[in-house]
């Protein structure tokens, strides 16, 4: 399939060059390109990709390559804002309409859409039903054309999914009203039933279905036994793993407890659970997203509404509900494709508690046990235990759960890196099973182990089991080792356990084979040492220092614009900057993640930081020329989005920057950024209202002398009584007059 790009967007030679221009990436992720090509052919599509696979780009890039509006339906308001912010930060006209906006704001945004500045409109599904909205879309369609619909989180349309939203059913109406506008449905849900439901409910027409692999190769999976001192291990893990992380616990109480202990131990951590007021929860979430706080300790209520791509670790301190939840929750790590760690602390005590809770599931009306539900829950629990105890590649077990085959060993899980040797435990198994037999198959694991270890427990003495020939014959092994054997026997089907809530051990024909010495038993050896992570291509110490410095610069830039740091640059881009140390804009633009807009917006500050670092370290600079674009400034003015025009409108109504910031609930720095861009684009900004005329003259003279490349150099020339904002505004005008 070849794309007919040349006819639609003659400025780009290939989809790759468009990708680099708008998003700064060098290549497509697996699956993205065919989806984009099919979108350019106006086909209906169903896109199934795991979290972090890069779904958004599949509808964003086609939206930018042709005239018209792409309407994106998304259920989560926070995600919507996030994506719109990220698009703005790439200089792309995008906006959202949802219930957080006032009527006035909605009307303004609608005007922006009709003016054609907006390429992507994000919409909450209930909006479609809102009064007068469909007629508005009709107008858009007549005036500027609706290019396509993208239905994000499309599983919400299905009652079989985990997140059914009745409003999603209304989307079918879009299909009827605009039969020729293509529709792309996107989801990370893996089950076949939901997929079928999406196709049907949305009425997709001969759709192309893309199913990406659910393998997340950058995630390292490991299981650690949870013991009494596990908190110490948890703390060590958090200290060892740089970057943001999430710790999941089952109960609010546990969340609060772990948060408290981490805080006491000097870790910046905050809690998140349903017991906190809405405002508090939102605040904690925000602080996590903005990198003000490093660790979120949460119940599973956390994570649905965020897509922070640079989460470096996800720890399950308690049991996940089932394997699919585990996959989704741990999958919140490493969406940016960089290495991340998923650790699951597993204990039998936890299994027992969950098992107990399952046994409590009764019909609230009749008090009868809900047998079917209990059975499903037990089966799911079993799968979690199998995963935790498994000696196979963790990835293989997870993917098999989704019906995907993964061959060989992945090299990025504890079992693949430190395979547990198998040991012959036949004799121990005989002792164990004969003890079960002598206790008349009436007891559970703990009791059997106690008898084997010669415990003086009252019950054992009362039952006279201290008289058995198997009493005390297992003192040579620890209770943990005996339990490991017992569980392994259960797993291998070499002994049975009743599922009546008492978990009594029963012998089966295979058990008798062992007792008759007709069968050997092998058990994976208990872990001796902690798994070590593979080399993650870590940076050298000096690069690490530069990386840290670039991170703080990123944080500063992000705060100035009130956006999350990852919107400015991904970790991977910063790492490349630290490695390659670009010293001019041309080199800077080569970094993956630096598109043309970000090069112009941030290049100077980041290059200055890199140069300064090199100077301090005595690394000779390769390039001492002023930081300016290698090629003449582009003829096109900077891309302006609706948000800039709104600022302009308020400025023209004589509001001061502070008043605009107040009114728009944006930071003052963002407003100055807008004004700078507007000035540079030659829009009619009243510079005299912003900078004293005399001061303008001084700054202009300085620029004429030292050039416009470096703000710092200009400021050194004019003196410290001038601030950067004045200089930026005057410089913008200077640049605009040269265009
Ligand atoms: P999803 O919605 O599938 O979970 P996103 O669309 O949020 O994933 O993308 C996850 C991350 O991957 C984002 O940070 C995005 O910028 C990044 N990304 C997407 N496509 C590419 C690409 N081709 N190259 C590098 N990074 C990409
Ligand atoms: Zn593996």
**Which of 38-52, 109-123, 200-214, 612-626 is predicted with the least confidence, judged by mean pLDDT?**
612-626
Over 60: is that where the pLDDT of 10 sits?
Answer: no
Over 70: is that where the pLDDT of 529 sits?
Answer: no
**Which of 147-151, 381-385, 579-583, 680-684 is predicted with the least confidence, judged by mean pLDDT?**
680-684
Residues 518, 494: contact at Cβ < 8 Å? no
Distance from first CA to last CA of the chain, Å, rounded?
41
Residues 240, 360: contact at Cβ < 8 Å? no
Would you say the pTM of this structure is higher than 0.75? no
Over 60: is that where the pLDDT of 531 sits?
Answer: no
Which tens digit of pLDDT belongs to each residue from 487-505? 888 877 899 888 666 779 9
For residues 237 and 355, membership in a common domain is answered with yes
The pLDDT assigned to 608 comes to: 92
For residues 166 and 308, membership in a common domain is answered with no
For residues 456 and 591, membership in a common domain is answered with no
Q: How many domains does the chain fold into?
A: 4
For residues 641 and 725, membership in a common domain is answered with yes
| Residue 599 structural domain | 541-738
Which tens digit of pLDDT belongs to each residue from 600-632? 989 999 999 999 888 888 887 777 777 765 444
Over 80: is that where the pLDDT of 303 sits?
Answer: no
Q: Is residue 438 part of a domain?
A: yes
Residues 585, 244, 577: CA angle, nearest 5 degrees:
15
Q: Which atom of ligand 1 is nearest to the CA of 566?
A: 14
Distance 413 CA to ligand 2 centre (A): 4
The pLDDT assigned to 305 comes to: 63
pLDDT band of residue 546 (cuts 50, 70, 90) is very high
For residues 620 and 720, membership in a common domain is answered with yes
For residues 177 and 238, membership in a common domain is answered with no
Which ligand is nearest the CA of 59, by number? Answer: 1
The pLDDT assigned to 5 comes to: 36
Regarding predicted confidence, which is higher, 367 or 448? 448
Q: Which atom of ligand 1 is nearest to the CA of 152?
A: 2
CATH code: domain of residue 461: 1.10.10.10
Over 50: is that where the pLDDT of 462 sits?
Answer: yes
Regarding predicted confidence, which is higher, 488 or 16? 16
Q: Is residue 518 part of a domain?
A: no
Distance 217 CA to ligand 2 centre (A): 10
The pLDDT assigned to 383 comes to: 85
Q: Is residue 520 part of a domain?
A: no
User: At which of 161, 195, 211 does a domain end?
Assistant: 211
Over 90: is that where the pLDDT of 532 sits?
Answer: no
For residues 337 and 447, membership in a common domain is answered with no
Q: Is residue 469 part of a domain?
A: yes
DSSP state, residue 645 = H
Query: What are the beta bridge partners of residue 149?
Result: 71, 183
User: At which of 391, 415, 439 does a domain end?
Assistant: 415
The pLDDT assigned to 434 comes to: 96
Distance 414 CA to ligand 2 centre (A): 7
For residues 397 and 432, membership in a common domain is answered with no
The pLDDT assigned to 639 comes to: 60
Closest among 583, 679, 584, 612 to 640, alpha carbons compared:
679
Distance 398 CA to ligand 2 centre (A): 10
Closest among 410, 593, 636, 382 to 493, alpha carbons compared:
382
For residues 130 and 204, membership in a common domain is answered with yes
Residues with CB under 6 A from ligand 1: 25, 28-29, 32, 49, 51-57, 307, 309, 335-336, 570
For residues 403 and 444, membership in a common domain is answered with no
**Which of 336-340, 348-352, 465-469, 522-526 is predicted with the least confidence, judged by mean pLDDT?**
522-526
Q: Is residue 376 part of a domain?
A: yes
Over 50: is that where the pLDDT of 296 sits?
Answer: yes
pLDDT band of residue 640 (cuts 50, 70, 90) is low
Which tens digit of pLDDT belongs to each residue from 230-259? 899 999 999 999 899 999 998 999 999 999
**Which of 9-18, 379-388, 621-630 is predicted with the least confidence, judged by mean pLDDT?**
621-630
For residues 566 and 710, membership in a common domain is answered with yes
The pLDDT assigned to 428 comes to: 95
CATH code: domain of residue 235: 3.40.50.300
Q: Is residue 319 part of a domain?
A: yes
Residues 438, 469: contact at Cβ < 8 Å? yes
Over 80: is that where the pLDDT of 405 sits?
Answer: yes
- Report the chain's mean pLDDT, rounded to a whole number: 87
Residue ranges near ligand 2 (ion) with Cβ within 5 Å: 393, 395, 410, 413, 416
Q: Is residue 249 part of a domain?
A: yes
Task: Give the whole-angstrom CA distance, residue 719 versus residue 623.
Answer: 26
Over 90: is that where the pLDDT of 542 sits?
Answer: no
Regarding predicted confidence, which is higher, 212 or 737? 212
Tokens describing residue 545: 């220092």
Over 70: is that where the pLDDT of 476 sits?
Answer: yes
Q: Is residue 529 part of a domain?
A: no
**What residue owns the CA closest to ligand 1's atom 25?**
25
Which tens digit of pLDDT belongs to each residue from 313-331? 999 999 998 888 899 899 9
User: At which of 372, 390, 415 does a domain end?
Assistant: 415
Task: Give the whole-angstrom CA distance, residue 61 versus residue 63.
Answer: 5
For residues 715 and 679, membership in a common domain is answered with yes
């Amino acid at each position: 399939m070849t794309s007919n790009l040349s006819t639609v967007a003659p400025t780009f030679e290939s989809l790759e060059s468009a990708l680099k221009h708008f998003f700064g990436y060098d290549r497509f992720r697996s699956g993205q390109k065919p989806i984009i090509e099919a979108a350019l052919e106006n086909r209906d599509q169903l896109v199934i990709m795991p979290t972090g696979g890069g779904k958004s780009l599949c509808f964003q890039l086609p939206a930018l390559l042709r005239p018209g509006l792409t309407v994106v339906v998304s259920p989560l308001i926070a995600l919507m804002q996030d994506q719109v912010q990220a698009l703005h930060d790439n200089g792309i006209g995008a906006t959202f309409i949802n219930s957080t906006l006032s009527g006035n704001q909605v009307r303004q945004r609608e005007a922006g859409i009709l003016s054609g500045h907006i390429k992507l409109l994000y919409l909450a599904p209930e909006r479609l039903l809102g009064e007068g909205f469909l007629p508005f879309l009709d107008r858009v369609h007549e005036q500027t054309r609706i290019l396509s619909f993208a239905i994000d989180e499309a599983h919400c349309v299905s009652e079989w999914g985990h997140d059914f939203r009745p409003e999603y059913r209304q989307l079918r109406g879009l299909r009827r009203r605009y039969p020729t506008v293509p529709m792309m449905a996107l989801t990370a849900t893996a089950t076949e039933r939901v997929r079928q439901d999406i196709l049907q409910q949305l009425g997709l027409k001969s759709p192309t279905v893309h199913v990406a692999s659910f393998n997340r190769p950058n995630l390292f999976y490991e299981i650690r036994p949870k013991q009494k001192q596990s908190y110490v291990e948890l703390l060590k893990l958090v200290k060892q793993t740089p970057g943001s992380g999430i710790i999941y616990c089952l109960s609010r109480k546990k969340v609060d407890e772990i948060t408290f202990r981490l805080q006491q131990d000097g870790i910046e951590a905050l809690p998140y659970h349903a017991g906190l007021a809405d405002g508090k929860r939102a605040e904690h979430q925000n602080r996590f997203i903005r990198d003000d706080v490093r660790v979120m300790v949460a119940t599973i209520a956390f994570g649905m509404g965020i897509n922070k791509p640079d989460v470096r670790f996800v720890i399950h301190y308690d049991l996940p509900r089932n394997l699919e939840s585990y996959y989704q929750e741990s999958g919140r790590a490493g969406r940016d494709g960089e290495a991340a760690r998923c650790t699951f602390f597993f204990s039998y005590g936890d299994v027992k508690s969950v098992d107990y809770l399952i046994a409590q599931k009764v019909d609230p009306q009749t008090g009868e046990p809900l047998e079917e539900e209990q059975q499903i829950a037990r089966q799911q629990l079993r799968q979690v235990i199998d995963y935790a105890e498994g000696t196979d590649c963790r990835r293989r077990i997870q993917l098999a759960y989704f019906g995907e085959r993964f061959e060989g060993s992945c090299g990025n899980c504890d079992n693949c890196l430190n395979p547990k040797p198998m040991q012959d435990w036949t004799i121990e198994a005989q002792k164990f099973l004969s003890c079960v037999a002598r206790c008349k198959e009436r007891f559970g694991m703990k009791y059997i182990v106690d008898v084997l270890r010669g415990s003086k427990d009252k019950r054992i003495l009362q039952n006279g089991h201290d008289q058995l020939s198997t009493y005390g014959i297992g003192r040579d092994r620890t209770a943990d080792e005996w339990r490991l054997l017992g569980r392994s026997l259960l797993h291998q089907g070499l002994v049975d356990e009743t599922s009546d809530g008492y978990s009594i051990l029963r012998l089966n024909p295979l058990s008798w084979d062992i007792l008759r010495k007709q069968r050997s038993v092998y058990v994976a050896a208990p872990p001796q040492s902690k798994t070590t992570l593979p080399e993650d291509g870590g940076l050298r110490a000096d690069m690490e220092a530069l990386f840290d410095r670039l991170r703080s610069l990123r944080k500063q830039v992000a705060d100035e614009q009130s956006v999350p740091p990852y919107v400015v640059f991904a970790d991977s881009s910063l790492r490349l900057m630290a490695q390659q140390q670009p010293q001019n804009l041309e080199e800077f633009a080569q970094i993956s993640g630096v598109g043309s807009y970000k090069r112009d917006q941030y290049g100077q500050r980041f290059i200055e930081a890199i140069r300064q670092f090199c100077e301090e370290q005595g690394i000779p600079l390769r390039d001492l020329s002023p930081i300016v674009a290698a090629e003449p400034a582009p003829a096109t003015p900077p891309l302006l989005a609706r948000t800039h025009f709104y600022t302009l409108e308020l400025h023209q109504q004589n509001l001061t920057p502070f008043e605009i910031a107040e009114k728009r609930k944006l930071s003052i720095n963002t407003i100055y950024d807008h004004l700078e861009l507007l000035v540079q684009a030659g829009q009619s900004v009243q510079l005299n209202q912003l900078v004293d005329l005399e001061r303008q003259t001084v700054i202009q003279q300085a620029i004429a002398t030292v050039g416009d490349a470096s703000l710092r150099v200009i400021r050194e020339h004019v003196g410290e009584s001038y601030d950067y904002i004045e200089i930026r505004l005057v410089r913008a005008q200077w640049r605009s007059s040269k265009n």
